[in-house]
Amino acid sequence: MSIRVVFFDMGGTIETYGWTPELRLLETADIQQRLAEAGIILDLTDKQLYEIISAGLEAYHQVSLQTMEELSPTRVWNEYIFAGSPVDQEKLAPVAEALMIFIENHWFRRTMRPEVPGVLEAIRQMGLKIGVISNVNSLGQVPANLDQYGIRHYFNPIVLSSEYGRRKPDPAIFHYAARLANAPTSDCLYVGDRVARDIVGARRAGFKLAVQIKNNFDHGEADEGAEPDAVITNMNDLLEILNAEALDSRPSGSPAVPPDDMIRAFLFDAGDILYHRPYGQRNFQAFLSELGVADKEIPEAVKKIYRDQAFIGSISQSRYRQAILGLYGITEPQLVDRGSQAMDKDENGVQFIKGVPETLKSLKAMGYKLGIVTDTANPVHVKLSWFERGGFGNVWDSIISSHEIGVEKPDPRIYAAALQQLGLSAHQAVFVGHSQEELDGAGALGMKTIAFNYEKFTRADYYIERFEDLLKVTTLSPEDKPM
């Protein structure tokens, strides 16, 4: 079977739910009591508090639809629910998570679909992994409900937007889940009730199948954007889809399994391989010139300290930019914001190298797995947004970012992470890069290497001058050296 992992949405999928204003108003008395126990005494009736919470959650919901960012419960309570209210933030912070779990459980009536345990056991018997990808503001609600239903042991990984920081339909959270499950995105199936979140997100991430299960709850929102591979009303119908997929993926002729030495995947560095920045740091330099500090000499070794910390996720990209601005003596908050915006504009000023979109799509159509191994301070969702802009966001089976896994090239662990997710050995993959260091790192692990946009005297197994020459890689030999 080509499907290796079945991921489920939680609310509306594993469980159904609903609510009424009367239910929420009744439960608000308990919220009032919990706040009082935390030392937060509000001069509000239960109805007034209900209206404040409802308006705040709706405001946050609308913002999250646009940004796809999941804020912490503390920030949601402070910045949306009690925005402008004289609530002591230090008293609110310790109880914010528990208050959000209470709302997620008590402002809704949740019921597990009765057929779910049997379906999960059947999927486990098929030898498939099972996971969850859920939009939820708290860290505790989904695990607690899975425990309550007696089915938590089936799920690994359990991926929550509250933990990852991005919400469906952002494809980054789907990629993150696939990496944790050690499976290419193209070997994953996703089941969810919402087209706009679940089906669209799985499609953007390159999941093989996206299945919608009907849920009668009316969200009052448009639910469109993609066509599901199948629409079901009962989770038992999913087993028919998986059985049909198993039959369809059975080989009809020889060889049943590709030879072990066959190249199965292309792994790519990102910058100067898929895209470049023709204008460099133009906006940042203009900003520095405006402040009269453009000529200030900052040792590259000092900048590299902060860059490496950002690349391995020790500091955020925001903290990295603040640190670089600080080296120029820029610390005033408004100027830091302007400088960060200039750096962001430069960072996003990518142009795709000629032939990249067409070649990647052709390689994908030929059956190759495609992956990225990148040293970057940019979160995965940022790079994916660039690739989507170029029309090839959904071709990636694996995206391994130094920022997420904490190591940079040429550390063998970053290449091994990609190979592990793809389920391949080193000699079944080739790495396309431009710097000697990263090419040597891949070669040391046993991968063939292809140099592109390389400097003179760069050593690699193969060399290409145009990106589309990758389509002829099987005709190249190590003797194809640059002049």
Please tell me whether residues 411 and 269 are part of one structural domain. Answer: yes
Q: How far apart are CA 156 and CA 154, in angstroms?
A: 7
CATH number of 426's domain: 3.40.50.1000
Residue 228, pLDDT score: 98
Q: Check: CB of residue 403 under 8 Å from CB of residue 379.
A: yes
What SS3 state is found at 183?
A: coil
Please tell me whether residues 375 and 271 are part of one structural domain. Answer: yes
User: Which residue in the block uniquely carries the two structure tokens 């390159």?
Assistant: 206
Q: How far apart are CA 372 and CA 401, in angstroms?
A: 8
Residue 249, pLDDT score: 63
Please tell me whether residues 217 and 185 are part of one structural domain. Answer: yes
260 within a domain of the structure (yes/no): no
What DSSP designation does 213 have? E
Please tell me whether residues 155 and 203 are part of one structural domain. Answer: yes
Please tell me whether residues 200 and 226 are part of one structural domain. Answer: yes
Please tell me whether residues 102 and 113 are part of one structural domain. Answer: no
Please tell me whether residues 11 and 144 are part of one structural domain. Answer: yes
Residue 450 structure tokens? 């292809």
What DSSP designation does 168 have? T
Preceding amide of 169 cis, omega within 30: yes
Q: Check: CB of residue 68 under 8 Å from CB of residue 169.
A: yes
Rounded (10°) angle between helices 236-248 and 116-125: 20
Q: What is the largest CA-CA distance in the chain?
A: 81
Query: In this structure, which amino acid lies at residue 473?
Result: V
β-pairing, 398-401 vs 109-112, is unpaired
73 within a domain of the structure (yes/no): yes
Q: Where are the beta strands (DSSP E) in 252-324?
A: 265-268, 275-276
Q: How far apart are CA 480 and CA 460, in angstroms?
A: 10
Please tell me whether residues 92 and 209 are part of one structural domain. Answer: no
100 within a domain of the structure (yes/no): yes
Residue 474 structure tokens? 């099987």
149 within a domain of the structure (yes/no): yes
Residue 476, pLDDT score: 43
Residue 150 structure tokens? 């007696």
Per-position pLDDT tens, the chain of length 483: 589 999 999 999 999 999 999 999 999 999 999 999 999 999 999 999 999 999 999 999 999 999 999 999 999 999 999 998 889 999 999 999 999 999 999 999 999 999 999 999 999 999 999 999 999 999 999 999 999 999 999 999 999 999 999 999 999 999 999 999 999 999 999 999 999 999 999 999 999 999 999 998 777 777 899 999 999 999 999 999 999 998 776 554 434 445 566 899 999 999 999 999 999 999 999 999 999 999 999 999 999 999 999 999 999 999 999 999 999 999 999 999 999 999 999 999 999 999 999 999 999 999 999 999 999 999 999 999 999 999 999 999 999 999 999 999 999 999 999 999 999 999 999 999 999 999 999 999 999 999 999 999 999 999 999 999 999 875 444 444 433
The alpha carbon dihedral of 210, 14, 134, 128 has a sign of negative
319 lies in which domain range? 280-347
91 within a domain of the structure (yes/no): yes
Residue 255, pLDDT score: 42
Residue 245 structure tokens? 């997929």
Q: Check: CB of residue 341 under 8 Å from CB of residue 328.
A: no
Please tell me whether residues 120 and 224 are part of one structural domain. Answer: yes
Residue 295 structure tokens? 């000529």
Q: How far apart are CA 321 and CA 94, in angstroms?
A: 30
Q: Of the candidates 56, 89, 106, which is a domain's last residue?
A: 106
Q: In b/e form, how buried is each residue of 136-169, taking b as 16+ CB within 10 angstroms? A: bbbbbbbbebbeebebbebbebbbbbbebbbbbb
Residue 86, pLDDT score: 86
Please tell me whether residues 124 and 226 are part of one structural domain. Answer: yes
Phi, psi dihedrals of residue 400, rounded to the nearest 5°: -110, 115
Q: How far apart are CA 313 and CA 334, in angstroms?
A: 25
β-pairing, 448-451 vs 429-433, is parallel
Please tell me whether residues 101 and 213 are part of one structural domain. Answer: no
Q: Check: CB of residue 430 under 8 Å from CB of residue 452.
A: no
257 within a domain of the structure (yes/no): no
Please tell me whether residues 342 and 217 are part of one structural domain. Answer: no
Total domain count, the chain: 4
Global confidence as pTM: 0.94
254 within a domain of the structure (yes/no): no
What SS3 state is found at 414?
A: helix
Residue 400 structure tokens? 């391994």
Half-sphere exposure of 13 (CA within 13 A, CB side): 28
481 within a domain of the structure (yes/no): no
β-pairing, 398-401 vs 429-433, is unpaired
